[in-house]
Amino acid sequence: MSDMDKTIVTTIAETDNYMAWKSEEPDGEDIYHLELNNVTLHFFIEEWQEFMDLIQDVMKKTAK
């Protein structure tokens, strides 16, 4: 397997129960992953950006 065929995985953040990570796929696509206990969500970049916008909005509206 050449280096061009390898997926590069980077941990973004993690806690005892949750993890966010990114995979750089051989085809050039970046995919973001959220592991929430026994559920894993996968996001393409456009979906990840929209999800981050949603979380920022939630944070603003629930900040005390």
Q: How far is CA 41 from CA 12, 20, 21, in A?
A: 14, 10, 11
Say whether pLDDT at 15 is over 80.
Answer: yes
pLDDT of residue 5: 83
Tallying the residues shown for the chain, one arrives at 64
Say whether pLDDT at 53 is over 80.
Answer: yes
Rg (CA), the chain: 14
The stretch 14-33 carries a mean pLDDT of 97
- Mean pLDDT across the chain, nearest whole number? 94
Say whether pLDDT at 1 is over 60.
Answer: no
E strands present in the chain: 8-14, 18-24, 30-36, 39-44
pTM for the complete prediction?
Answer: 0.85
Say whether pLDDT at 26 is over 60.
Answer: yes
**Domain residue ranges in the chain:** 3-62
